[in-house]
């Protein structure tokens, strides 16, 4: 198994652990999928989150996507002595998932994370009752905007 395979498996594992935090009370169970598209050379993290609430908008989609990313990369779980942006936290955690342990050099993790963050997309799909077209929002992994 390569380091890349190991990193994908770690992403899949964490994506599954995040699902209960994306599920609202009384909502159907969400699903996740982590894949690598060799033609586009992209890692794709997909969340399918059914919501029973009637007032679902594109903003809801972006907010759920941001929540999924914060949970996926443990944003806010680690205190830093210096200010670190959420984007940098995502880059570092993504890099750590795809590097050997013990991690000898922080710059290796940083460089790996920066490259992978350019190639990684997170997509949130929310099916709408009474419609065949779901709400979909997708962007780079380090984009936490709620639009």
Reading the block at residue 82, the tokens are: 């210096």
Check residue 41 and give its pLDDT: 93
Instruction: Tell me the HSE value of 140 on the side-chain side, using a 13 A CA sphere.
Output: 13
pTM, two decimals, is 0.89
Position 75 in a domain: yes
What's the pLDDT at 72? Answer: 93
- pLDDT, residue 144, reads 80
User: Is 9 a domain residue?
Assistant: yes
Residue 147 placed within a domain = no
pLDDT value, residue 104:
58
Q: Is residue 134 part of a domain?
A: yes
Give residues with Cβ within 8 angstroms of 118, minimum separation 6: 140
pLDDT at 103 (0 to 100): 60
Q: Is residue 136 part of a domain?
A: yes
Which residues of the chain fall below pLDDT 70? 101-106, 146-147
Residue 145 domain-assigned?
no
Which domain covers residue 132, as residue numbers? 3-140
| Residue 146 lies inside a defined structural domain of this protein | no
Query: Into how many domains does the chain fold?
Result: 1
Q: Which pLDDT does position 71 carry in this prediction?
A: 93
Q: What is the pLDDT of residues 41-66, one digit of tens each?
A: 999 999 999 988 777 889 999 999 99
CA distances from 58 to 66, 127, 145 (A): 13, 12, 12
Helices H, strands E: what count in the chain? Answer: 4, 4
Number of neighbouring beta carbons within 10 Å of residue 98: 21
């Amino acid at each position: 198994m390569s380091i890349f395979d190991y990193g994908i498996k770690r992403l899949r594992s964490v994506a599954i652990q995040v699902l209960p935090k994306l599920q609202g009370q009384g909502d159907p169970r969400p699903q996740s999928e982590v894949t690598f598209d060799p033609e586009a050379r992209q890692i794709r993290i997909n969340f399918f989150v059914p919501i029973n609430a009637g007032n679902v908008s594109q903003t809801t989609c972006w907010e759920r996507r941001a929540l999924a990313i914060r949970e996926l990369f443990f944003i806010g779980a680690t205190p830093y002595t210096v200010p670190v942006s959420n984007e940098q936290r995502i880059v570092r955690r993504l890099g750590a998932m795809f590097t050997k342990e013990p991690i000898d050099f922080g710059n290796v993790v940083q460089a790996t994370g920066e490259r992978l963050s350019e190639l990684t997309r997170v997509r949130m799909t929310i099916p709408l009752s009474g419609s065949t077209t779901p709400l979909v929002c997708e962007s780079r992994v380090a984009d936490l905007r709620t639009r």
